[in-house]
Amino acid sequence: MNTEQVAPAELAELRAAFEIDDDCASALGWEGVRAFEAQHGIVLPEPYRTFVAEVTDGSHAGPPEYGLLPLAELPVDWGDDPLKRDPGRPFPLTQAWMWEEETDPAEDMEETLERVHRHGSIVLGTDGCAMNWHLVVTGPQRGHVWLITDVGAAPLGEGFGFGSTTTAPGFAGWVGHWAAGRTWFEDE
């Protein structure tokens, strides 16, 4: 997974996945992408960066269930103050964490949960019921897509043991999994 340069074949696959969607929003354009990045002190990982600039900034068809959100938006049921999100601060996790299973929670658990939901990522969309897909934009997991729910968080993709173990990691792998008509919890 290369988060610095987009592979032409990967971008072509992303374009093809969204050709079926007549309801795609216009691409944001490079000026819009750079303005978002400057505002938040980040550089979006590829291929998402080029995708939003050149292909589309959101899609009602998905992924996920309720559609791919435009870059600067949050799901309608987000609930808390969106201004408290800080994509420029590092995403705190490097491995799956199911906080609901914690038998002896750490004292700083609430603080860590806050960082999981607010730091180092943008929200790609929701499957409803507090199941939100995030693209990590800062920290060691930069470029990976994570499912963050009310009970835990885990990265999607090969090598992580969550969802599909054969899905390529990152935004292109996430979209490819959806475009192939597979559920999030099945392999090919």
pLDDT band at residue 179 using 50, 70 and 90 as cut-offs: confident
Domain assignment of residue 118, yes or no: yes
Structural domain count of the chain = 1
Please give the torsion angle defined by the CA atoms of residues 27, 30, 36 and 39, in that order, rounded to the nearest 10 degrees.
Answer: -160
**Among all chains, which residue has been given the structure tokens 């691409």?**
27
Whole-structure pTM value: 0.90
Residues in contact with 106: Cβ distance below 8 Å, sequence separation at least 6, in sequence order: 112
pLDDT, tens only, 45-60: 999 999 999 999 999 8
Task: Tell me if 85 sits within 8 A of 114, measured CB to CB.
Answer: no
- CATH number, domain at 117? 3.40.1580
Domain assignment of residue 188, yes or no: no
Which run of H or E residues covers position 145?
strand 145-148
Domain assignment of residue 184, yes or no: no
Q: Could you give the 3-state DSSP secondary structure of residue 112?
A: helix
Domain assignment of residue 157, yes or no: yes
pLDDT at 160 over 80: no
Which residue type, as a one-letter code, is found at position 25?
A
> Which residues are registered as beta bridge partners of 145?
135
pLDDT at 119 over 90: yes
Domain assignment of residue 186, yes or no: no
Domain assignment of residue 1, yes or no: no
pLDDT, tens only, 1-17: 889 999 999 999 999 99
pLDDT, tens only, 33-44: 999 999 999 999
Containing domain of residue 54, as a range? 8-179
Domain assignment of residue 35, yes or no: yes
pLDDT, tens only, 81-95: 656 889 999 999 998
pLDDT, tens only, 140-153: 999 999 999 988 99
Task: Tell me if 66 sits within 8 A of 127, measured CB to CB.
Answer: yes
* Tokens of residue 160, six digits: 């992580």
Task: Tell me if 125 sits within 8 A of 69, measured CB to CB.
Answer: yes
Residue with more model confidence, 131 or 31: 31
Domain assignment of residue 187, yes or no: no
